Amino acid sequence: MVDNSGKILKSINPTKIALPIIIGLVVTGYMLYQEFDPSTISALSFTYQSIFWFLISFLMMAIRDFGYMLRVRILTSKELSWRKVFNIVMLWEFTSAITPSAIGGTSVAIFFLNKEGLKIGRSTAVVMVTSFLDELYFIVTFPLIILFVGLSDVFSFGGTDLVGTSWFQNKFFMFALIGYSLKLLYTLVISYGLFLNPRGLKWLLLWIFKLPIIRKWRPQANESGSDLVATSKEFKVWPFRYWIKAFMATAISWTARYWVVNTLIITFFGITLLNWDEHILIFGKQLVMWIMMLISPTPGGSGFAEWVFKEFLTNYIPVGTGVALAFFWRLVSYYPYLIVGAFIVPRWVRKHFVKS
């Protein structure tokens, strides 16, 4: 197998944290300049209660990461220690944060798992099952949100909704439809390869890697495909209870991440915990926002995420505070991975690539 470690290490270079930070701050600064009103800033006052809920928002992210770590432990049959799993998840999130949303960190997750002790074939299978569970959560939850909340309410923005408007005239609905279609297609392909015909998926990989631009990686694709054929047998015969555990860990992880916005709104604007209709609607909008971010070309969705957040939740926050709240949202759910990754990556590289 050809060693592509150098190329992968370049993709997780901590110096790349500057680009997404600059993009996010520039877009946020511009939007703040456009809508700045000193009288609205008072709505973002901090009290002991608001500080408590602000800390809860960080707790939601911690629960999210714990769910990811638990899932990796389940999928690897606890072969990896909690410390190794923590490093893998943080490196994975860091890579996702510095690459475009459509690429994410999945492409190098196999590399992280392999360097922490898993064989390349098993690492490939684990990453594919992880991706499958993530997409399955979106595929299942999105229709349920539409069914129970309503299409018009979920896609309303800026005082407008889908009532009396053609579906193709709602920009957010179109973004979500494209993102959902991509996720559905990906889930069907992965399902086919994992549970029905892994050899067929291997053939598809080899066919794709005939393209001139990626032909030099065809030997690695062939080896990974062969390993996947062998290791997919394990997941085919997995007890159903293991799948339930893995999917529940996935659901806990993503649900906790969505509730970050709910806790931030409680922090600054005091929506009560008992107002479940409002919270479920905000949760639904969160899910749709993440689906839309799939098509963002910027690293970690920087810029696009802040704009969507401000537009999509404008009916639930005071006028003039949307951009500020979007900044706090990214401060909790995005920037910490850049900071943690900047510390973990150099140590991890020294451990695995620098000889004593």
Average pLDDT of 165-174? 62
Whether the predicted pLDDT of 1 surpasses 60 = no
User: pTM of the prediction?
Assistant: 0.75
3-state SS track over the chain: CCCCHHHHHHHCCHHHHHHHHHHHHHHHHHHHHHHCCHHHHHHHCCCHHHHHHHHHHHHHHHHHHHHHHHHHHHHCCCCCCHHHHHHHHHHHHHHHHHCECCCCCHHHHHHHHHHCCCCHHHHHHHHHHHHHHHHHHHHHHHHHHHHHHCHHHHCCECCECCCCCCHHHCHHHHHHHHHHHHHHHHHHHHHHHHHHCHHHHHHHHHHHCCCHHHHHHHHHHHHHHHHHHHHHHHHHCCCHHHHHHHHHHHHHHHHHHHHHHHHHHHHHHCCCCCCHHHHHHHHHHHHHHHHHHCCCCCECCCCHHHHHHHHHCHHHCCCCCHHHHHHHHHHHHCHHHHHHHHHHHHHHHHHHHCCC
The residue with greater pLDDT, 104 or 246, is: 246
Point out the least confidently predicted range of 195-204, 257-266, 339-348: 339-348
- What does the domain layout of the chain look like in residue ranges? 5-353
Q: Specify whether the CB–CB gap between 315 and 157 falls below 8 A.
A: yes
pLDDT band at 247 (very low <50, low <70, confident <90, very high): very high
d(CA 105, CA 148): 32
274 vs 131, which has greater pLDDT?
131
What torsion do the CA atoms of 146, 286, 248, 194 make, to the nearest 10 degrees? 80
- Between residues 183 and 324, which one has the greater pLDDT? 183
How do residues 101-148 score in pLDDT, each as one tens digit? 444 455 677 778 888 888 777 787 788 888 889 889 989 988 888 888
State phi, psi for 147 to the nearest 5 degrees.
-70, -45
Instruction: Specify the length of the chain in residues.
Output: 356
Percent of the residues in the chain that have a pLDDT greater than 70, as a whole number? 66
Please name the residue that has the structure tokens 């062939």. 222
Listed ranges 8-17, 176-185, 226-235; the one with the highest mean pLDDT:
176-185
Q: Are 326 and 286 in contact (CB under 8 A)?
A: no
Is residue 325 very low, low, confident or very high in pLDDT (cuts 50, 70, 90)?
confident
Do residues 311 and 319 make contact, with C-beta atoms less than 8 angstroms apart? no
Q: Is the dihedral of CA 318, 322, 327, 332 positive or negative?
A: positive
**What's the sign of the alpha-carbon dihedral 6, 9, 13, 16?**
positive
**Distance (Å, rounded) from C-alpha 228 to C-alpha 133?**
17
pLDDT at 192 over 70: yes
Higher per-residue pLDDT: 164 or 69: 69
Q: Report pLDDT for 103.
A: 45
pLDDT of residue 164: 45
Give the tokens for residue 242: 């293991």
pLDDT at residue 86, as a whole number: 92
Percent of the chain whose pLDDT exceeds 90: 12
Q: Identify the CA nearest to 44 among candidates 332, 323, 347, 350.
A: 323
What integer pLDDT is reported at residue 276 of this predicted model? Answer: 74
Residue among 15, 12, 2 at smallest CA distance from 352 = 12
